[in-house]
């Protein structure tokens, strides 16, 4: 009788485990992995356009984000404490860390950036899903949209076979261009982040050009994943 019970356990347990893994995969939670000791190294390229001086300032740095330990946030959420280190590209010494945090709920993947909480992803991760990325902060509503899921993506340093794209904000007219987006990879996390927010020159002599060829003010910032480790 005891042998029969153990045989039933052996047969049923893998099926339950597979069901649990399939559920996590189907919901897309592996797009946002969080575990102690995980880290991500990004190259951050920036360009700043000064309307008054006419100066264009470009630079590159590296950001290292490390998952530290579990904490309870002021909002009462159990979350992972993140330590974010930064250094100029080519340097070896890191700045003291800035502290962020991240967690997942039944509905959203959350990240606190400079004390502002953003809903980065919505579960399940499905194409054309929309949600308010600012639902947990004081800013006005901003509709995020998943434009694609489980597609390959090639960055400047690494290639990924299964990614999803979140369009956080896009607006363009004759004088304004705004493009905010993030791309996540399964079992990796954030691999690409773009922030483009500029104003174009309205002088009649250049107004016929595309706005990105006549920028007079604003900024460009791009994060590209260079290396990572996600602990089991």
The domain locations on the chain are 31-229
Q: What is the pLDDT of residue 206?
A: 96
Asked if the peptide bond before residue 105 counts as cis, ω within 30 degrees of 0, the response is no
Dihedral sign (CA 109, 111, 117, 120): negative
Say if CB 190 and CB 34 are below 8 A apart. Answer: no
Maximum C-alpha span of the chain = 90
DSSP strand pairing (98-104 vs 78-88): antiparallel
pLDDT digits (tens, 9 = 90+) for 152-167: 999 999 999 999 999 9
* Local structure of residue 27 (DSSP, 8 states): H
Say if CB 40 and CB 182 are below 8 A apart. Answer: no
- DSSP letter for each residue of 66-103: EEEEEEE-TTS-EEEEEEEEEEETT--PPPPPEEEEEE
Quick one: what percent of the chain has pLDDT higher than 90? 88
Helix (H) or strand (E) run with residue 147 in it? strand 143-154
At residue 22 the predicted structure's pLDDT band, cuts being 50, 70 and 90, is low
At residue 26 the predicted structure's pLDDT band, cuts being 50, 70 and 90, is confident
Topology of domain 31-229, CATH: YmcC-like fold (2.40.360)
pLDDT digits (tens, 9 = 90+) for 50-69: 999 999 999 999 999 999 99
Q: What is the pLDDT of residue 9?
A: 37
Mean pLDDT, all residues of the chain: 92
pTM (predicted TM-score): 0.88
pLDDT digits (tens, 9 = 90+) for 78-101: 999 999 999 999 999 999 999 999
Let me know if 209 is exposed, middle or buried by CB neighbors in 10 A (0-12, 13-18, 19+): exposed
Question: Which carries the bigger pLDDT value, residue 26 or residue 173?
Answer: 173
Q: How far apart are CA 176 and CA 158, in angstroms?
A: 32
Q: What is the pLDDT of residue 23?
A: 59
């Amino acid at each position: 009788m005891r042998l029969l019970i153990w045989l039933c356990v052996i047969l049923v347990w893998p099926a339950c485990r597979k069901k649990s893994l399939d559920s996590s995969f189907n919901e897309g939670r592996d797009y946002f992995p969080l575990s102690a000791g995980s880290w991500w190294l990004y190259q951050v390229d920036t360009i700043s356009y000064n309307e008054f001086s006419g100066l264009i300032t470009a630079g590159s740095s590296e950001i290292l984000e490390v998952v530290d330990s579990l904490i309870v946030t002021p909002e009462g959420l159990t979350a992972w404490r993140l330590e974010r280190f930064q250094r100029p590209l080519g340097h070896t010494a890191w700045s003291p860390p800035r502290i962020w945090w991240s967690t997942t709920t039944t509905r959203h993947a959350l990240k606190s950036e400079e004390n502002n909480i953003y809903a980065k992803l919505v579960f399940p991760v499905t194409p054309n899903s929309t949600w308010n990325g600012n639902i947990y902060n004081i800013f006005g509503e901003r509709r995020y949209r998943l434009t694609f899921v489980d597609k390959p993506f090639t960055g400047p340093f690494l290639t990924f076979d299964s990614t999803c794209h979140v369009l956080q904000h896009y607006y363009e007219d004759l004088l304004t261009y705004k493009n905010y987006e993030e791309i996540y990879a399964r079992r990796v996390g954030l691999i690409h982040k773009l922030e483009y927010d500029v104003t174009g020159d309205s002088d009649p002599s250049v107004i016929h050009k595309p706005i990105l060829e006549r920028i007079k003010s604003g900024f460009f910032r791009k994060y590209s994943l260079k290396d990572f480790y996600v602990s089991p």
